Amino acid sequence: MVDVNKHQIIESNVITGVIIAGGQGSRVGFQQKALLPYHGEPILKPILALLSSQVHTVWVNTNVEIERYQAFSEQLFSDEYQGFLGPLAGMHAAWQYIQTDWAVFVPCDNPNLPNDFVSRMINAYQNQPNPIVIVNDGVRLQPLYIMMHRSMAESLNQAIAKGHLSVNRWVKENDFTEACFADCCSKAFQNMNTLASFDVLEEPS
């Protein structure tokens, strides 16, 4: 593993954002969750806007219906591993495309990402430098919201090869820093995991 400089100061303009949207959508009737409507437009759109305002560039990890995603971003990539292995596979594949040494990963079903998400992840790293930084929402860890150094790519590969596909497990097998978001609103890291979650949202006109 490449040693992370303990005194390195990270700036948001050298961080790439990655939205993980590579699942089959099994919890939402095998639809692409990122493309389900949120206030009249796919939920992916506000997430892209929120993350794009905080980082150098944003990529979207997707494995199906790629032509539909092209309407929102040209920065798309798919898992190298076949079989919809989950977020770890998307994180692993990202390093074949992004050019920065640091990336932040977020899921595709939360339009309430804090406006200072990336800056707070950077501050947590500077207080306790580790190659992985994950969110603690004040109640529990939220390992799908993660900042990672490029040096972790091989660790991701090894975990997937072993069939260890839990992001939470992988994080805890490595050195990581917790970024405290206990003072954020209750919906800051509330994902929409079922079709019922979208029922109250407006349908596209």
User: Does an H or E element contain 58, and which?
Assistant: strand 57-61
Is 20 one of the annotated binding-site residues? yes
Give phi and psi for 120, each to the nearest 5.
-70, -35
User: Does an H or E element contain 93, and which?
Assistant: helix 87-94
The CA-based dihedral angle spanning residues 204, 62, 74, 67, taken in that order and rounded to the nearest 10 degrees: -60
Cβ pair 58, 106 in contact under 8 A = no
Rounded to the nearest angstrom, the gap between the alpha carbon of residue 105 and the centroid of all alpha carbons in its chain is 2
Is 33 one of the annotated binding-site residues? yes
Is 116 one of the annotated binding-site residues? no
Is 61 one of the annotated binding-site residues? yes
| Cα–Cα nearest to 81, from 142, 139, 161 | 161
Is 172 one of the annotated binding-site residues? no
Is 21 one of the annotated binding-site residues? yes
Q: Which amino acid is present at 21?
A: A
| Cα–Cα nearest to 88, from 155, 25, 35 | 155
Binding site listing for GTP: 20-22, 33, 61, 79, 109
Binding site listing: 20-22, 33, 61, 79, 109
Binding site listing for Mg(2+): 109
